[in-house]
Amino acid sequence: MLAETKIVRFDSIHLDCGVTLAPVEAAYETYGSLNAAKSNGILVVHAFSGDAHAGGPDGWWESMIGPGKAFDTDRYFVICTNVLGGCKGSTGPGSINPETGQPYAMGFPVITIADMVRLQKMVIDHLGIARLLSVAGGSMGGMQALEWAVAYPEAVASAIPIASTARHSAQQIAFNEVGRQAIMADPDWNEGNYYGQKLPGRGLAVARMVGHITYMSDDSMREKFGRRQRDENMFEVESYLRYRGSQFVDRFDANSYLYITKAMDLFDLTAGKTTLAAALERATTRFLVISFTSDWLYPSYQSQEIVNALRRRNHDVAYCELASSYGHDAFLVEVNEQTELVRGFLSRTMKERR
């Protein structure tokens, strides 16, 4: 299953911060084919460091997308876009500002999860899909799925937020802030103006190392590394983190890191409402919420908060806390269990749409 990343350009997008970004581009990939009724479209939304390449070889959710898989491309038309503010084809701080001819860098406007979703909606409209069968994603992808259900209830029949939250806790914000400070403390960051020069690789690598610690669990780290040593100067875990950090520098833009983590921290589904239940009042979609026992970055109580709020409004919600030792990474790793849940849930949703 080969898919190429396509780019679609729109005249402009109006952002939550009041700024209009013009023009704006979105990178996306699609898998499978849209049926005649255009009723089998599923938008898969990526987590913080993901991109539009979700399915196919080396796709970040390849194990879940494809013929016979959870998001069965024989039945469904799967779409994935790179988020606004990203660095994999969609407009972000590394894109050229048409007014200056230079990269936006720190001149890029503050973006929100709702802005990302707004751009996704434009892509979906562009594809001629009036109503998606589902929006699904883990972590930051789950936030977008929730935002979809609240912002465009008429345009999405179901939502699958996995290992996610309706708002970041102090702990989640704290880890993101450590990452941002690591980047900004790197002299090569140069107030964000490093394009075409030496990249703030050390800061970005440290940020990623912290991230990777939060994606694992005490158990999974013990199992994967224990106290094994690579050589007499280095533990396995140190070597792993350094490798992951340096690898990340080659594929991710430090300024995108700053903007996207900020968007996650700012996300609060209850904003302007008295309760989460009131915020979810508008949602008319069915929900499948999944969390993992060992995920301490997005603990189950955050998913349960969403589920309980939905039940208070008597919305249709299925919820399961899957047993896993992989920590937050579980949503990318625990394929069999998620496949069983997602497959059943999507079949029912499809059936009820007919």
Q: State the residues that interact with other proteins by CB under 8 A.
A: 286, 288, 304, 307-308, 311-314, 316-323, 337, 340-341, 343-345, 347-348, 351
Transcribe 180-193 into DSSP letters: HHHHHHSGGGGGG-
Catalytic-role residue among 49, 90, 134, 139: 139
- Which CB atom, from 188 or from 321, has the smaller least distance to other proteins? 321
Mapped onto helix, strand or coil, the DSSP state of residue 88 is coil
The nearer residue to other proteins, 63 or 293, going by C-beta atoms, is: 293
Q: Using alpha carbons, select from 313, 332, 331 the residue that is nearest to residue 322.
A: 331
Backbone phi, then psi, for 300, in 5-degree steps? -55, -30
Cβ 340 to other proteins, closest distance in Å? 4
Nearer to other proteins, 190 or 347 (CB): 347
In the bound state with other proteins, the residue whose beta carbon lies nearer, of 243 and 301, is: 301
Q: Compare residues 167 and 286 and give the one whose CB is closer to other proteins.
A: 286
Told to judge if 125 belongs to the known catalytic residues of this protein, a careful annotator would answer: no
Q: Which one is catalytic: 186, 295, 324, 329? A: 295
- Least distance to other proteins, CB of residue 75, Å: 14
Query: Which position has the token pair 């024989």?
Result: 74
SS (H, E, C) 15-52: CCCCCEECCEEEEEEEECCCCCCCCCEEEEECCCCCCC
CA distance 259 to 236: 32
| Least distance (Å) between residue 59 CB and other proteins | 24
Min CB(82)–other proteins separation in Å: 30
Rounded to a whole number of angstroms, the minimum distance from the CB of residue 188 to other proteins is 47
Q: In what helix (H) or strand (E) does residue 252 lie, and over which residues does it extend?
A: none
**Does the annotation count 164 as an active-site position?**
no
What does the alpha-carbon distance between residue 204 and residue 182 come to, in Å, rounded to a whole number?
7
Residue 220 catalytic?
no
Dihedral sign from CA coordinates of 142, 215, 116, 271 = positive
Residues 6+ apart with CB under 8 A from 175: 210, 211, 214, 297
d(CA 339, CA 113): 26
Q: Kindly list the catalytic residues.
A: 139, 295, 328
